[in-house]
Structure 1
Amino acid sequence: MLKSFVVPSSEVPGYSSIYRHPDYSGGTFNGKFADITTLYEIFKAQVKNHPKEHFLGARTYFHRTNTFGDYEWLTTTDVDEMVDDYGSGLDQLFAAHAPDINDETGQQPLGIFSNNRPEWILTELAAFRSCRYSVGISDKAGIKTAEFYICCSELEVLICSMDKLPHILERIEHTPRLKVIISMDKLDCSKPTPFTREFNVETISELKSKATSLNIVLTDVAQVIEMGRAKPTEPTLPKPSTYCTLSFSSGSTGMQKGILITHGAFAATCRASYLGMQQRNVCHLSFMTPSHIFDRFIIYAFMHDAIHVGFSSGVDELLLSDMQALRPTVLATTPQLLSSVYNKVVSATIEANGVVGILSRFAYKSKLSRVSSGGGFKHALWDWLVFGKIAQLFGGNLRLVIAAAVGLKPDLHNFFRAALSCNVIQGYGQTENMGIAVMQRINDISTGNIGIPSPGFDIRLRSIPDMGYVATDSQCPRGEIMIRSKGIFSGYYKAPEKTAKAMDGEWLATGDIAQLNPDGTLKTIDRIGNVIRTALGIYVELEPLEMIYSTHRLVDSILIHGTLHAYDLVAIVVPRSETFVPWAQNIVGNKDAELVELCKDERVADTMTEELRALGSRAKAPSKAVIGAVHLEPQAFGEIDREFLTLSLKLRRFKIVQYYDSVINDLCQKMGNDIDLQIKTSGNS
């Protein structure tokens, strides 16, 4: 029985049939919450239905010891009152210092530059109250990237954490339109946060003086809220057709693009996924930057039926500590994070030596058999003996894990279902459709697929003959994923030609290649922009290979690349130091050798190449997609250059390839191949 509904007589030349969610086969999803058409209305529904619930929370910060405690909360009513005052204060600031309307959008943008914290969502909701739209800038973005966002979106008012102030003021000539900067942290230093540690009354006074000399209005959120409380303004509420955000594409395959999204489109996507995921009274840890659309999508989707949003401490090393303090019920994450945790946990359990390893392997086999046979995700004995400790790493309260972006390997997918004793589902979406357009159903225990169309989404495949993909194949349709729904972006900011290229009539062309499985689920198999053609004349899909090799116990992260005149692939590998160092020391016969020295040793690199080739063979990687040489990089990609990672922590491939150009040449020469770095980048990026 097909899991997707096939629209009768919908196949046309060059395209597959149209597929829909079986419960919404008519293509619409009227009913519950159909009257809610903007993100602000979603928020107001939570205010009405859950007024005293915990809503936005952050961990208590102890500045003397630079440590974090339990979560402190604002209720929905608290947030509603603050949003009203905050919005009134913003009205006054815009009227006095930045009254101009953006010619492209007919609205005023409001920039937000910080890590995950309650003030982020408070600011966006306050913007919505007066029909403004947000422009999110990731805390992990370098100052040059931030300046690109500020200039590209023509921002005049920016809200940021205090640590950003010196950098912005120092380089103000690069953002000439900026007129008002609002600090999320109090400028009187009365409430220390992790972002005020380097500041005191004297340094703040210097910042104020510098801002005055530059003709920049500098204030803080607390003062803006007080302004609004003293002089309330009437709200100007958004409509479905007005913009809620200008978000930027990841830039993993090319120049970042500004993506305009309306309230109506975003609200439709959030409601569709809420109906698909069937979760109520959710507790969510916000750790993926809100400037990336996925985190906000989760927040607004579950706001339909009450959500408690606990924001992470912002320290990567404390992420598991944040989970244990919050005990979330839903975890929205990326396969990259799960893969990282998987490597550490598996080495201590099912790959361990002795009694621990024997017991863990038997428990895992028993638990997986129970899950696969439909017996449920829990097992009293094995959860108590083995898996309960793993679940406690994530807070011990999870009932749903949602992994978006690149597909999960089946082994990893099954492991977390067994280890966390809960639903682990995959989904697929892009910023252009602002969430999850394809998603596995709750209690679907299959692996190796991204699910079926979300409610209200039409999905079909378009043939890509140049790459050998035929969408009309009756046995296994394959082609580019095309999406049609109310939840589609309005266009790229000031780039109509790129908008036209991304659309095929009313269909969004994603650039991702999928195949339709016999059961009606979809599986991503390729990417038009992330494909390498080797000297053998074959196209190699890179991201699935990287997912395979990133599970190796010695690998922290990996970038795989190939060339038109090289038969084998090359890899830039950042080792996982805790496992790699003792392993490599054994190879060189020196127990005192350190990471940097070991990465330079050719014997270590050659042995690592053999390790990866063996893993590829075990994982049944394509036989003609072989890693022939490895360069070991002791620094994490993000430490070398923050621009090497997208806001969702995916590798920004073209930048890394440029950086390692000479290294890749040397590796290919080592393999005895000529060099020609020609990357197949046709299609929408």
Structure 2
Amino acid sequence: MAYKVPSSEVPGYSYIIRHPDFKDGTCGAKYSDVTTLWELFRREVTEFSKKEFLGTRSFDPRTGKFGDYSWMTTTDASEIVDNFGSGLDQVYAKYAPMVPEATPGQQPLGLFSNNRAEWLLAEFAAFRSRRYSVGVGDQLGVDCAEETINHAECAVIVCSMDKIPRMLDRMDMTPGVKVIVSMDKLDCSLPNLFTQAFNSKVAAGWRTRAESMGVVLLDMAQVMDMGRAQPTHVSPPKPEDVCTITYTSGTTSAQKGIVRTHASNVAASKSIGLPLQTQNETYMSFASLAHCFDRFLIYAMMFEHVRIGMYSGDIANLGDDLRALRPTAIVNLPWKLNELYGLIASSTIKAGGLAGMLSRFAYKQKIKRIAAGKGYKHALWDRLIFNKVAQVFGGRVEMLLTGGGQISSELQTFFSVILSCESLHGYGQSENFANGTVQLKGHPAKGNAGVPAPGVDIRLRSVPEMEYLITDSPCPRGEIMIRSKSGFSEYLKEPELTKAAKDGDWVATGDIAQFNADGTISIIDRMKHIIKTGRSFFVAPEFLESCYSKHQLVKDIFINGSVEERELVAIVVPNKEKFVPWARGIVGNAGNLSFENLCANKDVTQALVKELKLHASLNNLMYQEQICAIHCDPMPFEKNSRGFYTSTFKLRRTAVLNSYKDKFPKLFAEADSNVKLTVS
């Protein structure tokens, strides 16, 4: 499928591959009039005037219930952006005139909230006067929001009302902040999910407290009033201007500020928009806007208009949001789809009785139909079986997009069948604004990362220390190198890290891939995550975690070892639904123990170690790859505030190690004891 550039091999590097429809390495001339995200926004406003653009669910604070979506048109959005942008000009001139040395001539605007319409509106308002956005998030750890604000030197922060108490409580940690702008009215006259815990009296107290600290507290409505009273001229950004700084944390390192220009963001969004061929989509936004994946897709779909429905702000309510919005395009992550697969499959293709038999027969019939190129819908089986399941996602999904990790062909096929839609997987990094590869629409090959997106060159670099070589047979293997106009400029204030991440015009991703015989790319490993144990044996913890996580009793797992310790140990979060009945069978008379107590029970943890050892043997793992002691934690990795995941939901190994550092000495001692007991 991918186009192989002739005579492009050099020593240590594979040949270069490109998208088959863009063999010259460019994205072509389409949309060439758009060179900045400000121009993209203006295109949306002028080409799709008065069309529904940003959707928000109504909220009743008396009942705590959400209602239907209400829509802001492109024309409404343009007016808000113009007024708020004019007001921001006055706010900066009066209260925050300082310009960071790292970005001469431009100033940052910090954005701190869950996904909501005001986040995007504030960002476009920043672009109006050559300012750039800085996504502030708190998913990566307790202090990461403050670290981001300080590192990016944000003097003005636009945030949701629920973030104001945190900002004021920690103001001594962010001395550079001069202005806080609430997305919500400070008189609480427009109640929503983010204001329900507060009232105008509380907000008045915040204002007094802020003044005592030398901080100005305003709301967006007040800033817009300033803009209406004294409109300012638009000062549009240039393609080479800084557009956004995205903070991301790798699996082993601290946060890095990824500096991106308007030109690179437009290139990335155009690159993915061309092969997806979206038009007048309805899209659910719930992946954090502070990072790049969600914005990347939003910008891509804006070229041919998109209705962006914001989730309610409570991820537990996402299913209800989907049913209310009924999106045509959704994005999800492989690990989340795996969870959904277990729930949906148990009531369909893995169910017992007549219902299960019919579901399996219908499933096979639809697979045959899709393979024959007859489309994703089936008049009979959709009506009888699959439409009921599709209603969980709103019933109108035409495109399911996934990224942030590998996905199996079985999982992609399953969701294509039950949702009657195209399922496309891609690969990218924050350094490339999530733009790298994408699967071709209508192509049957699944379970891979697809081919290079238009305008993206990809090659492999040999990694001899891990025995991945471009000369490997039958498929070249090595580190993915990406060259494109969507690459990042630098890591803010980190010249050495920037230098290490680049190889000339190429970005070194740190991911290991192979070029498949069918022209697709598969991600097969990650560099550096190798543990040498006291047995002088090298193990790949992520590979082992992937293997052990397939056991029905395991939800999350983290494997640790070191050169000082002979055995491997693990932190395990059990799958509560399967674990509780199994564990109660172990403890016998103490069968009324809670999930938390079962996790702490010594007999249960020892029995789980034996289960995992058996699982390892059945999966052909060597003895040195078996886990010899575990700590069971009832708290899932994604449901804590310790920042265990990167923005693309890769496990941050350093964060997990630090969180459980007090557990590991005891676990290693227990592992040695268990092994000695086994030997004796």
Moved more, 413-422 or 487-496: 413-422
**C-alpha distance 350-625 of structure 1, shift in aligned 2 (>3 A):** farther
Query: What are the equivalent positions in structure 2 for 1:265-344 lying under 5 Å apart?
Result: 265-344=264-343
1:96 partnered with 2:129: no
Change (3 A) 1:371 1:606: farther
Structure 2 counterpart of 1:246, one-letter code: I
**Offset at residue 164 of structure 1 (A):** 1.2
1:663 corresponds in structure 2 to 663
Residue 437 of structure 2 corresponds to residue 438 of structure 1: yes
Q: Quote the Cα distance in structure 2 between the aligned partners of 1:551 and 1:283.
A: 34
Q: CA deviation at 1:654?
A: 1.1
Equivalent in the alignment of 2:523: 524
Which region of structure 1 is more displaced relative to structure 2, 542-551 or 285-294? 542-551
Question: Match for residue 43 of structure 2?
Answer: 45
2:382 aligns with 383
2:549–2:555 Cα contact (<8 Å) kept: yes
Q: How does 1:485-524 map to 2 (within 5 A)?
A: 485-524=484-523
Partner of 1:78: 76
In the aligned structure 2, how far is the partner of 1:612 from the partner of 1:373? 41
Count how many residue pairs are aligned between Structure 1 and Structure 2.
Answer: 673
* C-alpha distance in structure 1 between counterparts of 2:86 and 2:66, whole Å: 32
Residues 436, 452 of structure 2: 8 Å contact kept? yes
Q: Which amino acid aligns with 1:204?
A: A
Aligned to 1:681: none
Counterpart in the other structure of 1:114: 113
Structure 1 residue matching 2:404: 3-state secondary structure: coil
Contact conserved, 2:409 with 2:448, CA < 8 A, in 1?
A: no
Is the alpha carbon distance of 1:333 and 1:386 closer, same or farther for their aligned partners in structure 2, counting shifts above 3 Å? same
Percentage identity across aligned positions?
A: 47
Alpha-carbon deviations, 1:70-125, whole Å to 9, x = none? 11110111101110111000001001111122211121000000001000000000
Label 1:358 to 1:67 Cα distance change in 2 as closer, same or farther (>3 A).
Answer: same
Task: Confirm or deny: 8 A CA contact 1:185 1:220 kept in the other structure.
Answer: yes
So what's the TM-score if we normalise by structure 2? 0.94
Shift of 1:170: 1.8
| Aligned residues of 1:10 and 1:18 also touching (Cα < 8 A) | yes
**Is the Cα contact below 8 Å between 1:138 and 1:291 reproduced in 2?**
yes
Check conservation: 2:557, 2:571, Cα contact below 8 A: yes
* Equivalent in the alignment of 1:220: 219
Q: Equivalent residue for 1:654?
A: 654
Name the CA shift for 1:608/1:70 in 2 (closer, same or farther; >3 Å).
Answer: farther
For 2:226, the aligned partner's letter is M
Q: What is the letter of the counterpart of residue 159 of structure 2?
A: C
Q: Distance in 2 between matches of 1:582 and 1:474?
A: 47
Partners in 2 of 1:538 and 1:48 — Cα distance?
62
The whole-number CA distance in structure 2 between the counterparts of 1:29 and 1:293 is: 20
Pairs within 5 Å for 1:317-466: 317-466=316-465
Whether contact under 8 Å (2:404, 2:648) holds in the other structure is no
Q: Identify the residue that residue 11 of structure 2 maps to in structure 1.
A: 13
Amino acid of the residue matched to residue 601 of structure 1? N
- Once the two structures are TM-superposed, the CA of residue 668 in structure 1 deviates from its matched residue by 3.8
Query: How far apart are the structure 2 equivalents of 1:619 and 1:224?
Result: 61
After TM superposition, the score normalised by the length of structure 1 is: 0.93
Which region of structure 1 is more displaced relative to structure 2, 541-550 or 113-122?
A: 541-550
Distance in structure 2 (CA, Å) of the matches to 1:466 and 1:39: 42
| C-alpha contact (below 8 Å) 1:530/1:541 kept by paired residues | yes
Which amino acid is 1:32 matched to?
K
User: 1-side partners of 2:215 and 2:479: how far apart?
Assistant: 48
Instruction: Tell me which moved more, 295-304 or 601-610.
Output: 601-610
Q: Is residue 60 from structure 1 mapped to residue 73 from structure 2 by the alignment?
A: no
Shift of 1:462: 0.5
Specify whether residues 148 and 275 from structure 1 end up closer, same or farther in structure 2 by C-alpha distance, changes over 3 A only: same
- Residues 605-614 or 583-592, more deviating: 605-614
Q: Would you say the 8 A contact 1:565–1:674 is kept in 2?
A: no
Structure 2, unmatched stretches of 5+, are: 676-680
Query: Are the structure 2 counterparts of residues 219 and 467 from structure 1 closer, same or farther at C-alpha, using a change threshold of 3 Å?
Result: same
Distance 1:321 1:332 in 2: 16
1:446 maps to a residue whose letter is A
Aligned pairs (5 A) from 1:623-634: 625-634=625-634
Select which of 13, 25, 28 maps to 2:26.
28
Higher mean displacement: 450-459 or 167-176:
167-176
Q: Give me the whole-angstrom Cα distance separating, in 2, the residues matched to 1:569 and 1:323.
A: 42
1:69/1:635 CA distance change after superposition, 3 Å: same
1:547–1:76 distance in 2 versus 1, CA, 3 Å: farther
Question: Structure 1 residues 669 and 296, CA, compared in 2 at 3 Å: closer, same or farther?
Answer: same
Residue 568 of structure 1: how far off its partner (Å): 6.0
Aligned residue for 2:143, secondary structure, equals helix
Aligned residue number for residue 680 of structure 1: none
Cα 1:380–1:610, aligned 2, differ >3 Å: closer, same or farther? farther
* AA matched with 2:363: Y
Q: Deviations over 1:619-654 (max 9, x none)?
A: 777897444443321112344433223344432221
Q: Once the 2 structures are TM-superposed, how far is the Cα of residue 618 of structure 1 from its aligned partner?
A: 6.8
> Take 2:348 and 2:610, find their aligned partners in 1: how far apart are those partners?
24
Q: In the alignment, does 2:586 pair up with 1:587?
A: yes
Task: Give the 5 Å matches for 1:597-676.
Answer: 597-609=597-609, 611-612=611-612, 625-672=625-672
CA distance in structure 1 between the partners assigned to 2:491 and 2:619 by the alignment: 39
2:649 and 2:609 map into 1 onto residues whose CA distance is 25
Shift of 1:134: 0.5
The one-letter amino acid paired with 1:71 is Y
Partners of 1:567 and 1:673 within 8 A in 2: no
The 2-side partners of 1:640 and 1:85 are apart by 39
SS at match of 2:444: coil
Give the letter for the 1:384 counterpart: R
Superposition deviation, residue 611 in structure 1: 4.8
2:144 matched to 1:145? yes
Counterpart position of 1:475:
474
Query: Where does residue 136 of structure 1 map in the other structure?
Result: 135
The alpha-carbon deviation at position 332 of structure 1 amounts to 1.5
Are the equivalent residues in 2 in contact too, given 1:425–1:441 (CA < 8 A)? yes
Distance 1:191 1:599, change over 3 A: same
Distance 1:195 1:139, change over 3 A: farther
Match of 1:402, as an amino acid?
L
Deviation of 1:664 after TM superposition, in Å, equals 3.5
Question: The residue matched to 2:630 in structure 1 has which SS?
Answer: strand
Label 1:469 to 1:506 Cα distance change in 2 as closer, same or farther (>3 A): same
State the secondary structure of the residue aligned to 1:405.
coil
Partner deviation per Cα, 1:171-194 (whole Å, 9 max, x = no partner): 211111110000111001101111
Give the residue type in structure 2 aligned to 1:594. Answer: S
Structure 2 counterpart of 1:499, one-letter code: T
Q: Distance in 2 between matches of 1:609 and 1:509?
A: 38
Amino acid corresponding to residue 194 of structure 1 in structure 2: L
